[in-house]
Chains A and B, each alone.
Chain A
Amino acid sequence: MSGARERLGKVLRGLAGWARGAGWRGRPSGLLARERLRLVLVHDRTSTSPGLLEMLREDLIDVISGYMEIDRDGMEVSLSRASDSVMVVASIPVIRVKRQASGVGC
């Protein structure tokens, strides 16, 4: 019973917080802080600079462009941390696959 009350309290407090500050100004700044912190720590812990990721992004574009036409503006490359390991996460929207691949290996 008390569990349900606690949950209800949490929801109400969340709503109150949303109405007071965060709602129309965008996300609560605490969440933003958490996400920025997570990201910067991924770079700190792996000794990689955001600039290095930019270079990787450019190289990925070169390689993939040999096989398919991609949406460069919609492309996202980031590092993400999964418990103990680090992953490179790339999301690359494809516009069109080329009929004739002109990749490096061909």
Chain B
Amino acid sequence: MGEVIVVTSGKGGVGKTTTTANLGMSLALLGHRVALVDADIGLRNLDIVLGLENRIVYDLVDVVEGFCRLKQALIKDKRLDGLSLLPAAQTRDKSAVSPEQMRNICAELAREYDYVLVDSPAGIEQGFRNAAAAARRAIIVSTPEVMAVRDADRVIGLLEAMTIREPELIINRVRPAMVRRGDMMDIDDIIDILAIELLGVVPEDDAMLVSGNRGEPAVLNGSSRAGEAFRHIARRLRGENLPLYDLERPRGVLGRIRRLVGVERG
């Protein structure tokens, strides 16, 4: 039996979909079978991030309504063995699926796959409840901003009232130089305030935008710092006992020189 994990945040635009895509790919790179479920019905984007948008024939709602079998709707990623996407419907809305139906679909997927990652829509309404319904674990994505952390706190409260054991936090788009000069909230402060387990931190990285443009998640790009952070988080997610990814670790000869002379990009 595989694990069903929901990726959620409350606030929109903090990187849920990017996180789902990158963690899914990282787990597949590690040799796991992974199913990604886009639960953002009406506003699907996971297909774009993965570069699979041209291969969609059926979607989640088609499966629910019995127009096709689950296997027919799953898109297999040709770059990576073991990675599949169940796309959301684009022309329907959140009420097209019930929590019970989500539970059934995820249970069926969990029989075939080691990990089922459900990409939740923003908000705390039915779309979020559907996405979380089938999950036993939850990953909360936040950025180090007051607005995002506040919404994360709300979502943590709601998840704890559901059947989710301890939610785990990913802090995305961290800018170490800004943290150092005190213009960005400290990771420890956020953890302390939310009283939640920290799964990982991801640095702000221009490569993320480029990978979005190309439909190639950053974990496939060896030189992307954020990609490296996501690969690291995936290993922690599957239970490896690793310390947190070090955002400050200098990379390459140039990085070491920069650190020595105290010039760093922020």
Using CB atoms and an 8 Å cutoff, list the residues of chain A in contact with chain B.
13-14, 16-18, 20-22, 28-31, 33-34, 36-38, 40-41, 44-45
Q: How many pairs of A and B residues are in contact by the CB < 8 Å rule?
A: 52
List residues of chain A with CB within 8 A of the CB of B189.
Answer: 34
In this complex, how many residues of chain B approach chain A with their Cβ under 8 Å: the count is 18
| Contact status of A31 and B150, CB under 8 A, knowing A37-B193, A38-B193, A41-B193 | no
Closest beta carbon of chain A to B249's beta carbon, Å: 15
Contact yes or no, B181 A20, CB < 8 A? yes
List residues of chain B with CB within 8 A of the CB of A36.
Answer: 146
Contact yes or no, A21 B153, CB < 8 A? no
Give the one of A13, A14, A17, A22 with max B CB within 10 A: A17
- Closest partner residue, chain B, to A13 (CB atom): B180
A43, B179: Cα distance in complex, Å:
26
| Contact status of A30 and B153, CB under 8 A, knowing A37-B193, A40-B146 | no
Contact yes or no, B154 A44, CB < 8 A? yes
Contact yes or no, B183 A29, CB < 8 A? yes
A and B contact pairs by CB, cutoff 8 A, 22 listed: A13-B180, A16-B181, A17-B180, A18-B182, A21-B183, A22-B181, A22-B182, A22-B183, A29-B183, A30-B183, A33-B146, A33-B184, A34-B186, A37-B146, A37-B149, A37-B185, A38-B193, A40-B146, A41-B153, A41-B193, A44-B150, A44-B154
B139-160 residues at the A interface, CB under 8 angstroms? 145-146, 149-150, 153-154, 157
